[in-house]
Each structure stands twice: as structure tokens, then as C-alpha cells.
Amino acid sequence: MDYQKLAELLYKDVSKTPADIEAEFPPRSLPEGAKVTRFAPSPTGFVHFGGLFPTTVAERLAHQSGGVLYLRIEDTDAKREVPGAAEALIRTLATYGINFDEGAIIGENGKITDKGAYGPYKQSLRGDIYHVFAKQLVKEGKAYPCFTTEEELEELNKQNKKEEIKNTDWQAEAEARRKEMLERRNFTIEEVEAHLAAGDPFVLRILADGDPDKKVKFTDLVKGNMEIPENDEDFVLLKSDGIPTYHFAHAVDDHLMGTTHVIRGEEWLPSLAKHLQLFRYLGFKTPKYMHIAQIMKLDENGNKKKLSKRDMGANMDDYTEMGYCPEAVCEYVMTLLNSNYEEWRMQNPDKSYTEFPFNIKKMSVSGCLFDFNKLNDVSKNVISKMSAEDVTEKVSAWATKFDAEFGELLLADKDYAEKIFAIGRGGKKPRKDLATWKDAKPYMGFFYDKYFEIEAPYPESFEKEDIKAILSDFNDAFDASDDMNVWFDKIKAIGEKYGYASDMKAYKASPESFKGNVADVSMFIRLAVTGKINSPDMYSVMQILGKEKVCERIAKMIASL
Ligand code: GLU
């Protein structure tokens, strides 16, 4: 076969050579050890938690090494493309600390444009580039046209699937596949000419040289050393419309754009043999690969399953509405990514996560478990370290969007809200009440009459008359200018008067000698003032509410008993 002639027949309009293209994409000049990584989404939907995960790895590795993180849009499947998805992806990722140095960015007009010297960064605009390398492969006898029409192919696929169900004789099936492939490979230049003259569409296939009985050795930076069967499948490089498949575009783009580390989901692992073959055929240096395990979750029966697109917590855009702050989500992602992160955090409570020395070796090989409880714990920690101003700001912003009435109340008196959020903040052991901004209302809504309600009646075990008398005495005694000790001494004294121990030791030694203790007395007052069994520090609460409101609520409670 005259491959040179075949290449000219198929790609007569392609005049550039691979060397011309290489000259347009010179190697990057970066410091020693700098990593070039990328996020390569297909613009088909939202950012999935399972997508943020590898992207955070890519971001950390690039920026920690003084390298480059870029964004490439893999829009080779026009049928699945969702308009506006790319813009939304970029915005969402920016919320979670993923900022691209290069690639597709949102321009001033709000539309995607390019930044950087290795573009275009949208695969649909790189058609000419792929064709240059395709032509070269044909010239070298490494790729060939296949004039099977799409309908024929579909029919074949269907048949294969049917066969697959019935046929468990894999050996025979492999034989059949091989035979079919050899038939495809068997054609003459004249046949190609005739097809082209008739305007028949064709796909370009690789001419696979692998032997599946042999293995390629390979080291994945996450999975470790592995051996994978060589590829013997003549997979498609260019579809009949001339658009590349993922495999071909991946090799050409990651090579030209200078990617040093391809970080992607482990669902690509089965295609790896194809990619290694392609890099070899094209004479490109193979990048380093990191295949990241899928994020798992526990189902109702406690079994591990993949976190699917429809699962709660999958869509990153939902986190905003759920009231999670991006800092907490990033922190959580870090705890999942590196097993020593939490230890580091304990030793460095005030540092930004970007200062953590991210280490590939500390990554989980088998897959991380997504767990809202853990996220909430991490989030409570993160929020507990924020200032009251910051929290007020963030809760108000969230509420304005998702709970307008609450938002208005907060903003009507910012100082008041700030005082509330300052309770238990600062100091060595700050309170950890809020995991999300949504938690704010149940936590502190009682400060506003609008949301004040008694959450439970007093336990039956206490005498109503005692409660009434205690509340009434407290109302008479309460003086907002008392310091905390005087205030508490008053509560203890009132309790004693009605037979409630003020000294816990004495109470524990002989509980039957008392009607209760000072904790019960506090609970009587707390429920009246806050409507809740648990609340932030009562002294602080009363200081903020002020005498009038405290006494008014207590009087109301007495009247209701
Ligand atoms: N476009 C591919 C995807 O959406 C990217 C995989 C990769 O990172 O190479 O999964």
C-alpha cells in the first residue's frame, strides 16, 4: 500500500506537517520540577463533587510547584453539549479556590475566550491541528480509513451486544473481532478512491499493533505499578465528521499543551493501553498519569456505592443553597485527599490549606467515602474560627438569597447580629454550633421575636408552682448590670430557696434531699428566655436581649403555666 498516496487522498487540504505544529507549541520554560496540569471538562453539565476532587489535586500540584493549571474544553461531542455549561463550570470552580492560569476563561463580555499561548483551548477549534497528526499517522501506515457507515457501525454494535449476552465464549468472540478487524484493514487504494468519489463518509482508525496476551508495564502515580494488556483494537481516532475521539484529542492536546501530569478519574484506566500506544505512534513523550478513584457513599444498607450525579451532595452548585461556605468544602476535600491533612491542620490551626504540603503518596488508592457528617464537623471547625463580623456578613448574604425575611432582620441591625454571633467566639475553645449558614436560624433565631417559640414543655417531673415561683423571683432579681458571678449567685440563691441544690457535690451525695439542682433552675429560665433546652451561654444571651425583653419573656412564660 502506498501510504503517502493514501494520506494525500484523505487529507489533501492539510499542508502543514507535525514539525510546523510543534514549532507553534514550543516547550514551556518553567522552573525545574514545575508541574503542568489541567482540568478538561466536557461542557455537558454541572461540576460534580467527584470532579472537584481531581481538579483540586491538579490545582495543588501545579501551584505548589510553581507550574501551570489550565482549562481545556473538550467539546467534541456536540450532541451532549449544554449551552452555558462551560461558563458555569468556571464560575463554580473559582468559588472553590480553583483558578486557572491559562486556557478557556470568561472574557469581559461574559463569554469564553482564550488566555495563553497554547490555544485554542476549545477542542472544537483545533480541528486543523488534529488533522495534521492524523495525516502523519496515515503516511506512516499507523492509521487507516474505514468506510463503514455510521448506520452499519451501529448495527454491528447492536449485534455485538446481543452476542455478548448470549456468548460466553470469549475466545471465539475475540477471534471474530480480530477477523472483522483484518477485513477492515484489507482494502486497496482504488477502493478508497471510489469511496471518496462517491462521497462516502469514513472514520479514521488506528492500526493497532498490540498483542493482548502481552502486558505493558506502567506506573500510575496514585495506583502504583501495574501491568495492562496491550491494545489490539483498531479504535477510532477521527469520527466521520472529522472530529477527534477523546483518545486522539487527549494525546495531541496534552502533548502540545505541555501537560506533565494527567490527573483524571479512574474510569479512564481501561483506555490507558490505547493512550500509551497513541503516544508511542505519535512519537510524543508520555505524560505522568494519576487515576483518581471514584468518590463513594454509603447507601441506606451501609454498602459502598458510587456517588452518582443525582445523589445529594453531588452537584457543587447545591452547596451554596445548603449554606456551606466554600472554605469548609475545600477543607473537607483536603481531608479526603491526603490522609495526613487533619494532623497537619491540628498542628497548624491558622494556616491556609494552600500552605499544606500536598503529597501524592498520601492519597487513597481505593476511593474516598463522601460523608455529610464529616463535612459538617470540618465545617463547624472552619466557621468557629471566623470572626463575628465575618459570620454575620456571610449568614446575611446567604439569607438574603435563600431566606429573605431572615436576611432582612439580620441586616436591619447588623450590630445586634454581630453581638449574637460573637457569643462563644474567639478564645481557645470556640463554640461549634454552625455547620452551614442554614443552621444560623435554628441556633439564634430566638433572639428575634418573629422566630421565638417554646420548643418543648417543662418536664412533668417538676412542680409547676416551683417553676413559676423561681421564674418570678428571677424576674425581680435580674439586673443587667450584674457581672456573671453576681448573676449566677442570684440564680443559685433562688434555687436554694425552693429546695434546688446549688452545690452539685452536695446534690450528687444525696439527690433525694433536693427537688433538683441549679442546672434544673437554669433550664427553667433558659426555656422561658430562649424557648430552647440548649442555647448559647445564658449570661451573654441576657446581656444582648436586655432587661426588658428578658423580663417580658419570663412574665409570658409564668402566665402560660
Ligand atoms: N473530557 C474528559 C471527561 O470529561 C476529561 C478526562 C481527562 O481529564 O482527560 O471526563
**Domains along the sequence of the chain with CATH:** 3-15+126-292 (3.40.50.620), 297-384 (1.10.1160.10), 388-447 (no CATH), 464-560 (1.10.10.350)
Q: Residue 271 Cα, ligand 1 centroid: separation in angstroms?
A: 12
| Nearest C-alpha neighbor of 435 from the set 381, 394, 390 | 381
d(CA 522, CA 532): 12
Neighbours of 25 (CB within 10 A): 16
Mean pLDDT of 63-91: 92
pTM of the predicted structure, to 2 decimals: 0.90
Mean pLDDT of 196-202: 93
Q: Residue 377 Cα, ligand 1 centroid: separation in angstroms?
A: 32
How many alpha carbons fall within 13 Å on the CB side of residue 362? Answer: 16
Quick check: 165 pLDDT over 50?
A: no
For the CA of 38, the nearest atom of ligand 1? 8
* 52, three cell numbers: 472537584
**Mean pLDDT value across the chain:** 93
| Nearest C-alpha neighbor of 467 from the set 382, 397, 554 | 554
The pLDDT assigned to 364 comes to 85
Residue 127, strand partner residues: none
More confident position, 497 or 109: 497
Residue nearest to atom 7 of ligand 1 (CA): 264
Q: What distance lies between CA 77 and its chain's CA centroid?
A: 24
Cis peptide before 120 (omega within 30 of 0): yes
Q: Residue 262 Cα, ligand 1 centroid: separation in angstroms?
A: 10
Q: Residue 46 Cα, ligand 1 centroid: separation in angstroms?
A: 14
Q: Residue 41 Cα, ligand 1 centroid: separation in angstroms?
A: 6
The pLDDT assigned to 158 comes to 63
How many alpha carbons fall within 13 Å on the CB side of residue 306? Answer: 10
What pLDDT, in 10s, does the model give residues 374-391? 999 999 999 999 999 999
Residue nearest to atom 9 of ligand 1 (CA): 264
* 379, three cell numbers: 465545617
For the CA of 267, the nearest atom of ligand 1? 10
Residue nearest to atom 8 of ligand 1 (CA): 264
Residues having CB within 6 Å of any atom of ligand 1:
40-42, 74, 250, 262, 264
For the CA of 250, the nearest atom of ligand 1? 9
- 222 neighbors 99 (Cβ within 8 angstroms): no
- Which residue of 55, 268, 278 sits with most ligand 1 atoms within 8 Å of its CB, as the best mutation to test the pocket? 268
Q: Residue 42 Cα, ligand 1 centroid: separation in angstroms?
A: 7
What pLDDT, in 10s, does the model give residues 281-313? 999 999 999 999 889 998 889 899 999 888 888
The pLDDT assigned to 45 comes to 85
